[in-house]
A and B are shown apart, each in its own frame.
Chain A
């Protein structure tokens, strides 16, 4: 395949993954397994980024990959985010399937240019001749008391860019399968890893990926739907448990795909419960919560019992670790949100 320009979309590489059955993994192990299997299944897949090689990534997500697949398939780049994404564009043009890593969410800002003006638009600009099968992985969101710009919540930014798809897993099972899925598709996907959940263990079923498109009902309930993604799914499950003590039966909907949003799946849940609270870590104004609320309004207006509520970060820069718990929606704030919806009376 030497001298290849972008191969026409020949995708969904044969799954060479020999993994079967179920096993308990932490999320970073699940992502590592997914990268391993993606590299094994697809000889055109390459992993690149800062410290992804010998070190195995600062969160060890790429641990062992270079040793197994060699420094041509898994390689360290110089320290330049625009370089990593811009180089990925050229690799995609040469028929490769790059899986670049940006080391922390806040350091994608220097690369936004390549992401928005190049990766997102190349298929459009070339009328489909140069697709961009690039999966950008990025530790995302807060919750680990990290220094400034290591805890951003940028889904609002990526989701607004036409040409990108955005997904965030909330469990090891999803982390494995959504990454395999994203990496086998012909369009660019931003894959947002909830870094506070890297060490969360869970069962991964390699035989039954389940539906990989659209929403996932993380907990069934009748009275109200909490809509969340990434790290906030676990927190909403905890809030639902707390609410259950008061006799409330709360559904937790894991949005998963932040672009495109599965509006039908979203509406199906709200049609059942008729009440919704959206929970996210990003600032409130112009956040994805507003989009979700509007989609619900468009599809469920007649049956809603109350306006959709939002429990979000505030319109401030993500604060340092000591204030993180004030900023990120906690269980109490989520319960208050639930209460506001339940107590709503038409004026």
Chain B
């Protein structure tokens, strides 16, 4: 099979304005988060500069009242677009709580995933559950399934679990969108040393699932392709691989030194157009936007950043007792004893 067909029609002006302001907000927050790390406000962060269109655009194609998002650790833009509170999101990077402080059930966004490829099978299992629910409710009705969208990097597609997930998804025809941001690098290893077979999208054929490759710097293209992928999955036609071609403009994380594996000149040349510039130029040229509007969007982003920074700075450590509380739904006696000993020995009575 089969490359997924999608329409390259422009988005409505109002929608593009909305997405452009989300992109501007994440750009601003993402840039600030790096500064916060330098200032000692957070211990570390994984920048996503250059991936704003891919992330915001992918989420724009979802219905967050019923779909479910499975992010990695580089999905600030997706989390913001999905409505996750950015202070609670940053709690992972602040080292407040692994996975973040947001409620995964209420937000329909799984916790920040550290294990490369770890979530792909979860998205398949969750999607299979939706399919079982639908068939149990009415086996004859046309399918209109909630969809799981899982973010992966190009490096993640080397993992066995991702192969297993694509194979399972194909076999069970689950409503799963494998949204791969091919940002050119997996830490220091370039895509050509990571992905055999030319592209990630090419893999879809091996699993009999639809696939498409899009320009991840062009938000309209991302939205339209992902909408087509979601519609395909929703209708019960099975999973889709979307490979969004982006570029990781900064370091892999705030502790990475990209100078050891690529030059600044390469970064400038290989990045392609900045996704924010693409969207803004389009709005301006269509007359949907004035330079005053650009300034408004920017100041809204600055206001958000200030609020999030205050939130993050205000976050103290969680009470130590929580470390014991959340291991199990039903805490074993042995752990209760350890918690009691901890309380006594560390004066937390």
Contact = CB atoms under 8 A, between A and B. Distances in A.
Nearest to A89: B122
Interface stretch (B20-28, B124-132, B250-258, B284-292): B124-132
B125 A129 contact: no
A4 B133 contact: yes
Interface in B148-164: 148, 160-161, 164
Interface in A66-89: 72, 77-78, 80, 82-83, 85-89
Given A5-B68, A186-B330, A88 B125 contact: yes
A90 B327 contact: no
Interface stretch (A101-109, A119-127, A268-276, A300-308): A119-127
B87 interface: no
Interface string B283-322: 0000000000000000000000000000000000000001
A128 B329 contact: yes
A90 B334 contact: no
A94 B332 CA distance: 25
Contact of A87 (B66, B121, B136, B160): B121
A65 B134 CA distance: 22
Contacts, number: 163
Nearest to A117: B115
Given A2-B137, A90-B123, A185-B330, A83 B104 contact: no
B333 interface: yes
Nearest to B326: A124
A38 interface: no
B171 A6 contact: no
A162 B334 CA distance: 12
Interface string B319-349: 0001001111110111100000000000000
Residue among B161, B164, B165 with most chain A CB within 10 A: B164
Interface string B154-188: 00000011001101100100000000000000000
Contact of A91 (B110, B129, B160, B171): B129
Interface residues of A, number: 55
B132 A72 contact: yes
A54 interface: no
Contacts of A127: 97, 99, 101, 103, 322, 326
Given A72-B132, A113-B161, A5 B108 contact: yes
A338 interface: no
B120 interface: yes
A43 to B, nearest CB: 8
A49 interface: no
A88 B127 CA distance: 11
A182 to B, nearest CB: 12
A263 interface: yes
Given A4-B133, A78-B168, A86 B335 contact: no
B111 interface: yes
B334 A263 contact: yes
B328 A93 contact: no
Given A72-B135, A91-B125, A118-B118, A125 B334 contact: no
A93 B70 CA distance: 11
Contacts of A259: 332
Nearest to B125: A90
B235 interface: no
A130 B110 contact: yes
A169 interface: no
Contacts of B68: 5, 93
A113 B125 CA distance: 16
A260 B133 contact: no
B204 interface: no
B294 to A, nearest CB: 38
A82 B160 CA distance: 9
Contacts of B327: 123-124, 162-163
A3 B128 contact: no
Given A78-B171, A83-B165, A91-B125, A5 B328 contact: no
A1 B133 CA distance: 7
Interface in A230-271: 259-264
A62 interface: no
A83 B97 contact: no
A127 to B, nearest CB: 5
Interface string B86-128: 0000000000011101011110101100110010111111111
A125 B330 contact: no
A260 B333 contact: yes
Contact of A260 (B114, B120, B165, B332): B332
Nearest to B107: A129
A129 B164 contact: no
B146 interface: yes
Residue among A2, A88, A122, A261 with most chain B CB within 10 A: A2
Contact of B136 (A72, A78, A122, A187): A72
Interface string A1-21: 111111011000000000000
Those 10 A-B pairs whose CB atoms lie nearest each other, nearest first: A90-B125, A86-B121, A94-B129, A260-B332, A125-B99, A90-B126, A87-B125, A83-B164, A186-B329, A90-B122
13 contacts: A1-B133, A9-B329, A78-B167, A86-B120, A88-B125, A90-B129, A93-B122, A96-B129, A113-B115, A113-B118, A125-B99, A126-B103, A260-B333
Interface of A: 1-6, 8-9, 46, 72, 77-78, 80, 82-83, 85-96, 98, 110, 113-114, 117-118, 122-131, 162-163, 165, 185-187, 259-264
Interface of B: 66, 68, 97-99, 101, 103-106, 108, 110-111, 114-115, 118, 120-130, 132-137, 146, 148, 160-161, 164-165, 167-168, 171, 322, 325-330, 332-335
